[in-house]
Amino acid sequence: MFDAPILDPQRFTALAERVEGACRPDQIPALQEYLFSPEGKIRFVMRGWVDERRRRLLEVQVDGQLWLVCRRCLSGLSFDLEARSRIHFVGSEAALPDLESEDPEEETLVFPESLNVAEWVAEEVLLALPLAPAHEGDACVGSEPVEEARAGKTRPFAVLGALKVPARE
């Protein structure tokens, strides 16, 4: 994990503080299985504030570029990372809103004891990834099934034919 501060969320929001930085994709351990290459850069900004209704808020923004593994052809796929979330902190579970009345633009959480910036950034990055990254259209390369599909050849059971054992007499 990359070096980032651990913050006191009460103080961070009360003083309207801001933290920003950058890391490489390979510095986030949970991201490793999705990466084609460690190249790229992730930038992050966290800022806290108290709004006009005296609510404590935190905004987390991440952006950058990653090289993910295409799930179709297993080659590199450039992915433009861009995510933003807003969190409203409350003092206790009793203060959490009902799911029906919660603002869809922000998440409401009970104040954590501390804010580990690296962990929050890693979570935002993972949540922003596509479920099954793949090249669009005909952009996949080096995959025989994709090449056959491009040529109009569809043989869904060809693999089974190769496994067929000759009959004994």
Mean pLDDT of successive 10-residue stretches along the chain, which has 169 residues: 92 96 95 93 97 94 95 91 94 83 83 94 95 84 50 52 58
Q: Given this model, what pLDDT does residue 105 score?
A: 83
Q: How far apart are CA 142 and CA 17, in angstroms?
A: 49
pTM of the model: 0.77
Would you say residue 97 lies in a domain?
Answer: yes
Q: Given this model, what pLDDT does residue 64 score?
A: 96
Would you say residue 85 lies in a domain?
Answer: yes
Would you say residue 13 lies in a domain?
Answer: yes
Q: Given this model, what pLDDT does residue 92 score?
A: 87
What sign has the CA pseudo-torsion 93, 97, 98, 104?
negative
Element at 10 (helix H, strand E) = helix 9-14
Would you say residue 160 lies in a domain?
Answer: no
Domain that holds residue 122: 6-136
Q: Given this model, what pLDDT does residue 149 score?
A: 46
Would you say residue 38 lies in a domain?
Answer: yes
- Name the domain count of the chain: 1
Would you say residue 23 lies in a domain?
Answer: yes
Would you say residue 156 lies in a domain?
Answer: no
Q: Given this model, what pLDDT does residue 146 score?
A: 44
Q: How far apart are CA 64 and CA 47, in angstroms?
A: 18
Q: Given this model, what pLDDT does residue 99 score?
A: 77
Phi-psi region of 151 (alpha: psi -120 to 50; beta: other; left: phi over 0): alpha
32 is written with which tokens?
Answer: 């490793």
Would you say residue 78 lies in a domain?
Answer: yes
